[in-house]
Structures are given as structure tokens and as C-alpha cells.
Structure 1
Amino acid sequence: MCGCCDDCGERVCCCIPYHVRENIKSCLILLAVVVVLAVIAAIVIVALVFGGPLRKVQITVEDASLTRFALVSTPTTALAYNLSIRLTVRNPNWAIAIKHDKPLEAAYSFDGQQFDRAKVADKGDKQGARKTVVYRLDTNSDGRSVALGNAGEAEFKKENATGVFEVEVKLTGKFKYTLRKTKCNIVATCPLKLQLAPPGTPALVFQKVKCKPEKQENKYC
């Protein structure tokens, strides 16, 4: 590549060597490729964040203990219990945080009959992307009325004979995902098998349980 210019009244001509021109050309091509790839990557990221599928919130009961579970004599059927649960809520989405649009609650049932309920998280609580929050729930009563009926009382006596009780924990709530208008109802059930361990007895090993979410009507949830 050659060019000429006037310098102090004299015409001066110079040439750019061929290998230099080729290097400049290669650099410009490489720069163009990098720019194109960056634009494509940005489009893909925006599409995933704002329009891609959401990964479901994962709820797991990491630990649980039952130190009291008994039928007590009252005018109606009642349960006396001491139940402790440690559960985790994980947001697996890598770029999207969640915010509780409704309180997250846990309902406890025996033989299909609810006997207690506990608040896990308040409305407005936030959880960052790829973050896990641990909740400790302790519930107890000296006599909570529950409509077990004859069949339920028979099931209680059957399980009481083995010392292992089947208690279901059902989580309900609603999340709003940041960067989107999407709101998703959360309903998940956690079937627990708890061996009664009265105070003063050795702690029992609990096998953690992954709570099973119900199918969502919203396909984006």
C-alpha cells in the first residue's frame, strides 16, 4: 500500500510493507469475529434470562426429629407432640433471584389429617440466584385436636407399636422471579418416616427427603 503527501514543499511517497498490511487485515477480521460473537452471546444471555425456562425451586428436609407423639384423652381426639424439622430451599437459577409473593408455609398431617401449621418464610423475603436458605421449624403441643376418626386412631396404634410414624409435611407458597413478571405457585409434599426418640435417648440417623413438587399450570414455572 503506497501513498504520497507534500512535506515542506516536496512530494514524499512511502509504501506500507505487504506483511504489515496482511497483519492489519487479520487483526480487523479477528476484531469483527470477536464483536459478532459478543453480540450473539449477549442475545443468548438476554433470551435465557428473560424468556428461557425457569428451574424449579428445590425443597429438601435435611433433618427431622420426633421426641413425643401420643394420643391424649380429651373430649375430642388430640395429639401431643414435639417435632423439629430442618429444611432447605434452594434457588437453582443461575441469574434470577426469587421473592416470596406469599408466605411460605408448612402443614403437618398424620393419616391425611392436618394437625399443625408453621410459617417458613414471610411475604417479601428474597433469595438470590443459586442460593440455599436453611429453615429450622419447631412445633409442639400438649393436645392439639385432630379429626383422625376410628381409622386414623387404628393407624396411630399400629405405627405406635413400631415406634415409627409417617408424617407428611406440605409446603405451599408463591414466588415472583426477578427480571420477569412470572409468578409461580409452589406446592411440594415431603413424606417423612420418623422414629420416636424420647428425650434422653440417643439421636437417630435421619435420611434426608427431597420434597416432591406438584405440576404447575404455568408452563414457565
Structure 2
Amino acid sequence: MCGCDDCCGCISYRTRENIKYGCICFGVVAVVVVFAVLLAAYAFLRHVSIIVEDASLTRFALLTTPATALAYNLSLSLNVRNPNWAMSIKNTEPFEAAYKFDGQQFDRVQVSDKGDKHPPRKTMVYRLDSGSDGALVSLGNAGVVEYKKENETGVFEVEVALTRKVSYTARYTKCKIEATCKLKLKLVKPETTTVVFEKVKCKLEKAEKNC
């Protein structure tokens, strides 16, 4: 007889205690690691990045009667990246883009619908083709002067103001995303097949608390 416990063979009491405490330590470390992973995945929010990858302006005419308006045709491609590696983004309101000239809005278009989702670590590409034969705009005298000045050069400064209200996976707070994309667009003929455009990174407005 070796004098060992029947249930544990010839493992000494001290060895069994060491194994027990080792298992406890391993369990604690595993819990800490899982907690750290979940914390990194859902507690720290990373903001989207938005880039105007391509844009073309084939018409931009100022109308003064019966009211001040702009006849325009504008196409652009928006690349929106969600850098979060676990959280998806869901629109709680439609994602919209407002077009402005000299600080005045002349049109607004929808980028994506309410309820649309943006998966984590993915880049969504939105193609917007917009136009109007007379989009009303309150330019005033200064705005008309600015239009004539830019019309002489054939290059127009158009601002794209983006607004989006979203929710994130596993987060209760709804967040508003606002960004401004300042474009310099050379007026080209509609039949032009190749347009030189230097991509523009849009500037995000300061996020609200917890967003």
C-alpha cells in the first residue's frame, strides 16, 4: 500500500491544492480576457470616416426669374467606413445629404433609408445622381456675385452637408453623425467620359456625449 487517497491516486495533498489554485487562476484570467475583449468591442466607439471618392458637375446655371434658382446636375460617390470591429450601425432616421452654394442650401437628397444597416469593418459606397431644372436658393446679392465670379473660372465650390442619426449594436444611445464635404467642381460637358477629381475627406462635426 502506498498510502495515497483512493480518489486521487498517488497525488499528494499539496499537489492537489496547487492544481486547484492553478485552475482558479486560469479561470480568473480567462474571465478578465473575455471582459477586456467585450470592453474593447462595445465600450469604445470609433467614428465613421467619409470620403467623396468621385464627383462630377455637368450643369450649374443660375436662374433669376421668376425666382432665384439653380439648374444643376451633380453626381458623386460617397465612401463611408465603419471602423468598429464588432458594432454594426443602423439608421434610425434616413441618411441625407444637403447641397449648398455660398452657404445656402439648394437641394437635399437621401443617401440611405431608415433601418438600413452598416456592418462592422465594412465600407459602404453610395452613388448619388441628382439634378433639377430650378432648385430654389436664397443667394442674395452677394451670392449672385459669387456665382458670377466662379462661373468665369468654370470651377464651383459646392458643399455637401451630411446628416445621419444612428444606433450601434449593444448600445442604448442614439447618435447623430454630421459631416461637411467641401468640393471644388469643374463644370464639364455631359458627354465627358473622364473627369479628373481629387478625392475629399469630409470633416466630422464634434460628436455628442456618449457618441
Q: Same fold (TM over 0.5)?
A: yes
Structure 2 vs 1, CA of residues 181 and 163 (structure 1 numbering), >3 Å: closer, same or farther?
same
Which structure's residues are more often strand, by fraction?
1
Trace 1:81-100 onto structure 2 (pairs within 5 A). Answer: 81-100=72-91
SS at match of 1:157: helix
Q: How does 1:195-214 map to 2 (within 5 A)?
A: 195-201=186-192, 203-214=194-205
Checking the alignment, whether the CA contact within 8 Å between 2:4 and 2:10 is kept in structure 1 is no
Distance 1:26-1:155 versus aligned 2 partners, 3 A rule: same
- The residue aligned with 1:37 is 29
Equivalence for 2:180: 189
Larger Rg: 1
Residues 94 and 4 from structure 1, CA distance in 2 versus in 1: closer, same or farther, beyond 3 angstroms?
closer
**For residue 39 of structure 2, what is the amino acid of its counterpart?**
A
Aligned to 2:98: 107
| CA-CA distance at 1:74 after TM superposition | 2.2
Does residue 108 of structure 2 align to residue 127 of structure 1?
no
- The aligned residue for residue 131 of structure 2 is 140
Deviation at 1:171, TM superposition (A): 0.5
CA drift of 1:184 comes to 0.6
Equivalences for residues 139-158 of structure 1 within 5 A = 139-158=130-149
How far apart in 2 are the matches of 1:200 and 1:165? 19
1:15-69 per-residue CA deviation (whole Å, 9 max, x = no partner) reads 9599xx98x999777655543321111121233344x221112221111100111
Q: Distance in 1 between matches of 2:127 and 2:11?
A: 74
Cross-structure match for 1:48: 40
Say if 1:199 and 1:35 are closer, same or farther in 2 by CA, change over 3 A: same
My pick for the range that moved more, 193-202 or 172-181, is 193-202
**Counterpart of 2:142 in 1: which secondary structure?**
helix
In structure 2, distance between residues paired with 1:62 and 1:82 = 17
Q: 2:3 maps to which residue?
A: 3
Q: Hey, what's the Cα distance between the residues in 2 that align with 1:162 and 1:105?
A: 30
**Residues 82/25 of structure 1: CA separation in 2 closer, same or farther (3 Å cut):** same
RMSD: 2.6
**Correspondence list, 1:11-26, <5 A:** 16=10
- For 1:3, what is the secondary structure of its paired residue? coil
Q: Return the alpha-carbon distance in structure 2 between the equivalents of residues 163 and 114 of structure 1.
A: 20
How far apart, in 2, do the equivalents of 1:17 and 1:42 lie? 32
Between the aligned partners of 2:4 and 2:194, the Cα distance in structure 1 is: 91
- Kept in 2: contact 1:63–1:85 (CA 8 A): yes
SS, match of residue 95 in structure 1 = coil
SS in structure 1 at match of 2:67 = coil
**1:69–1:27 distance in 2 versus 1, CA, 3 Å:** same
> Take 2:5 and 2:50, find their aligned partners in 1: how far apart are those partners?
75
Is contact 1:105-1:118 (8 Å) kept?
A: yes
Over 3 Å counting, the alpha-carbon distance change for 1:112 and 1:5 in structure 2 is: closer
